[in-house]
Amino acid sequence: MRLELDSEAPTVATVTLCRPERRNSQSPALWRALAAIGRSLPGSVRLVLLRAEGVSFSAGLDRAAFTPEGIPGERPLADLARGADGDAVISGYQEAFTWWRRPDLVTVAAVQGHAVGAGFQLALACDLRVCATDAQFAMRETVLGLVPDLAGTKPLVDLVGPARALEICGTGRWVQADEAVRIGLANLAVPPAELDAAAADLGAALLAAPRDALVETKALLQGATTRDYDEQRAAERAAQLRRLRDLAGIGE
């Protein structure tokens, strides 16, 4: 995995998955590295672009995790099941998937080829998804006897609703790019050769808005799924008054 900070545009960071020979399969080591990136991003960064090298965005958890030996250097899944610290360990894994939703950042995933399981959930971690026309999403955990546990179930339900989310997870079927756009999983689909440029263009359009206004707007929209109508109206008023005070130079 690689983190790049644009010297000409210090507000933009790019995170690249770079194990194309393994279709960018994931491991706890990758998750620890992703979590560390989230903790160490400079305060100047407003936009994070997530992309991947090769033909696939991410084929999901490294298949070695499902063998008795597990991934070299990592705890086997069976050992995790027997240990008393399983909840804490999985919570640590989830940290790699949660910081992308911070209100002070806008995050855009550029998805090509397969986005399976953990790969699908990593794409869901971002605010927006641009996919190539060859993109295919699948949540395979349930058909393997597990559940999606990398913070992907909440954004999936928010995007497509509980019935569609259950169908996608319960069957493990492929969601092609055109369907992903139609049901709200992806914002747009473009030819593979145009993927990186389209994601960057979308990010740049969002950065055109003043930072504090975009932060407040993102927080409002994120909270809308858990507030009722009157609570959301109150949150809008509070946010707007903060913006008006800031623009007028009036302190709290």
Is the pLDDT assigned to residue 163 strictly greater than 70?
A: yes
pLDDT band at 231 (very low <50, low <70, confident <90, very high): very high
Whether the predicted pLDDT of 107 surpasses 80: yes
> What residues contact residue 107 under an 8 Å CB cut-off, 6+ apart?
47, 48, 49, 50, 100, 101, 125, 126, 127, 128
CA distances from 204 to 13, 139, 218 (A): 12, 30, 16
Predicted confidence at residue 230, as pLDDT, reads 98
Residue among 167, 144, 147 at smallest CA distance from 157: 167
- pLDDT for 236 equals 98
**Is the overall model pTM greater than 0.85, yes or no?**
yes
The average pLDDT across 118-147 equals: 97
Residue 192 has pLDDT above 80, yes or no: yes
Q: How far apart are CA 27 and CA 73, in angstroms?
A: 10
In the predicted model, what is the mean pLDDT of residues 16-43? 96
Span 90-115, average pLDDT: 97
SS3 141: coil
Q: Are 202 and 236 in contact (CB under 8 A)?
A: no
- pLDDT for 7 equals 80
Q: What is the predicted pLDDT for the residue at 76?
A: 85
CA neighbor of 100 nearest in space, from 152, 23, 144, 175: 152
Strands (E), 31-82: 47-52
- Asked if pLDDT for residue 92 goes beyond 70, the answer is yes
- pLDDT grade for 226, boundaries at 50, 70 and 90: very high
- Among 148, 36, 38, 151, which Cα is nearest to 91's? 151
| pLDDT over 90, % of the chain | 88
**pLDDT above 70 for 252:** no
CA-based torsion, 111, 114, 116, 118: positive or negative: negative
- What burial letters (b/e) apply to 171-188, b meaning 16+ CB within 10 Å? eeeebbbeebbeeebbbe
